[in-house]
Amino acid sequence: MHLRNALRAATALSLTMVGAAQAETITIATVNNGDMIRMQGYTDDFTAKTGHEVEWVTLEENVLRQRVTTDITTKGGAFDIMTIGMYETPIWGANGWLVPLDDLSAEYDVDDILPAMRNGLSHDGTLYAAPFYGESSMVMYRTDLMEKAGLEMPEAPTWDFIREAAAAMDDPANDINGICLRGKAGWGEGGAFITVTGNSFGARWFDEDWNAQFDQPEWKEALTFFVNLMNDYGPEGYATNGFNENLSLFQQGKCGMWIDATVAASFVTNPNDSTVADSVGFALAPDNGLGKRSNWLWAWALAIPAGTQKEAAAKEFIEWATSKEYIELVAANEGWANVPPGARTSLYETPEYQEVPFAKMTLDSINAADPTNPTVDPVPYVGIQFVAIPEFAGIATEVSQEFSAVYAGQQTVDEALEKAQAITNDAMEAAGYR
């Protein structure tokens, strides 16, 4: 292996001597979401500008997480850029596994990134990943059905009003469910939704001493409300519905309301895919009168794993993909409604974009989310729909599986909460918090 190291050193040396203009091939792991797929289509623009080639590894979200996490913890070095989220970034950054993005060029204008996103993707004030797009969550509803029901959606509804509206729009005879929400197991799916619902009901994952809080009345109230709402007015089998399933239901006109990621707005208003494109309205995610709304904050972001040989080229790619120019490129080719949202302040100051129906509500929702202060009662953690500690993904996946079993009618709310409490405390003990 000495020989290999020597070779590597020689290669590195020759590379530095040739200088930064050296054309490289970078490997990027990314998720198979619409905006990322679109970005792959514009790779030629990047290659034309910089000379670097790009190899894409596009994976479904769960497989991607598994793959990049294993790669970063084993220092595999298979990727030069990884697409990761707001949950991973601060944890990985703190471990020194990501290249700090503190020397981005002046034209890139890092201060233009929405403050909420920047904070969420930083650790100790250093940015470790650049947001490709950002999202919060909001209510999407059918304006035609609301009108028929004689109701008007306030800009900032309460959960009680949501229930009332769901009841009014629910129409099983015509295959219309009052409301569609995520019930699918997984911390990023149903787990995220029930956590933000819990936030608005005054529940929290942990108290300030890292004790699990599922034995508290707030959780019981939140979970019971959710289960009743969905059993009464939700679709059959919502226990397996996640973002995609609900998107498809809503696009087929089978939901009166859907509370989910703000990025969905561009899909449900796209007449090519959605049968209800011209009758969708938007509102802030509901609250329960306790001062916290049930909206989350998330970004899919590009990060460079420490140790890559192609750091400079990778940075160039990140600057390209998350730049103002990229947004303009997409806008010019596919219209403003299809640009990656939620990342840059300047986007929301663009007059053309302000005319997009969901632009304002998306920005308001993002601004209404505060990861450093997510719950009614104080908590020791950062993050809204997640808790930014390494153990959370494992715990929350198991907890959300218990909740999904409630949604499927396989156990009671009390049983699930009791198990959730035990699972969480066990895991926190194993990790040495308690």
* Span 72-91, contacts to another protein by CB under 8 A: 73-79, 91
Residue 408 makes contact with another protein by CB under 8 A = yes
Q: Which stretch binds another protein (CB under 8 A): 143-151, 312-320, 379-387, 401-409?
A: 401-409
Residue appearing with tokens 């970005």? 39
- Which residue from 32, 105, 228, 231 is in contact with another protein, where contact means CB under 8 A? 32
Residue 240 makes contact with another protein by CB under 8 A = yes
Q: Which stretch binds another protein (CB under 8 A): 293-301, 332-340, 359-367, 419-427?
A: 419-427
Give per-residue burial for 182-197: e unless 16+ CB within 10 Å, then b: bbbbbbbbbbbbbbbb
In angstroms, rounded to a whole number, what is the distance separating the alpha carbons of residues 385 and 313? Answer: 33
Residue 237 makes contact with another protein by CB under 8 A = yes
In angstroms, rounded to a whole number, what is the distance separating the alpha carbons of residues 375 and 290? Answer: 10
- Which residue from 57, 151, 156, 167 is in contact with another protein, where contact means CB under 8 A? 57
Name which of 142 and 293 has its Cβ closer to another protein.
142
Residue appearing with tokens 């998720």? 31
The answer to whether the CB of 297 falls within 8 A of the CB of 107 is no
278 DSSP 8-state letter: G
Give per-residue burial for 99-119: e unless 16+ CB within 10 Å, then b: bebeebeeebebeebbebbbb
* Span 375-394, contacts to another protein by CB under 8 A: 390-391, 393-394
Name which of 118 and 254 has its Cβ closer to another protein.
254
Residue 215 makes contact with another protein by CB under 8 A = no
Residue 95 makes contact with another protein by CB under 8 A = yes
* Span 172-191, contacts to another protein by CB under 8 A: 185-186
Residue 244 makes contact with another protein by CB under 8 A = yes
Count of chain residues binding another protein (CB under 8 A): 73
Name which of 134 and 242 has its Cβ closer to another protein.
242
Written as six digits, the tokens of 55 are: 């190899």
Written as six digits, the tokens of 95 are: 């471990």
Q: What type of residue is 422?
A: A
The answer to whether the CB of 129 falls within 8 A of the CB of 84 is yes
Name which of 27 and 350 has its Cβ closer to another protein.
27
Which residues are within 8 A (CB) of 207 and not within 5 positions of it... i.e. 6 or more apart?
Answer: 213, 377, 379, 380
Residue 239 makes contact with another protein by CB under 8 A = yes
In angstroms, rounded to a whole number, what is the distance separating the alpha carbons of residues 324 and 316? Answer: 14
Give per-residue burial for 131-144: e unless 16+ CB within 10 Å, then b: bbbbbbbbbbbbeb
Cβ at position 378, least distance to another protein in Å = 24
Name which of 78 and 104 has its Cβ closer to another protein.
78
Residue 273 makes contact with another protein by CB under 8 A = yes
The answer to whether the CB of 368 falls within 8 A of the CB of 293 is yes
Q: Which stretch binds another protein (CB under 8 A): 127-135, 312-320, 378-386, 402-410?
A: 402-410
Residue 124 makes contact with another protein by CB under 8 A = no
Residue 163 makes contact with another protein by CB under 8 A = no
Which residues are within 8 A (CB) of 149 and not within 5 positions of it... i.e. 6 or more apart?
Answer: 165, 168, 169
Cβ at position 377, least distance to another protein in Å = 26
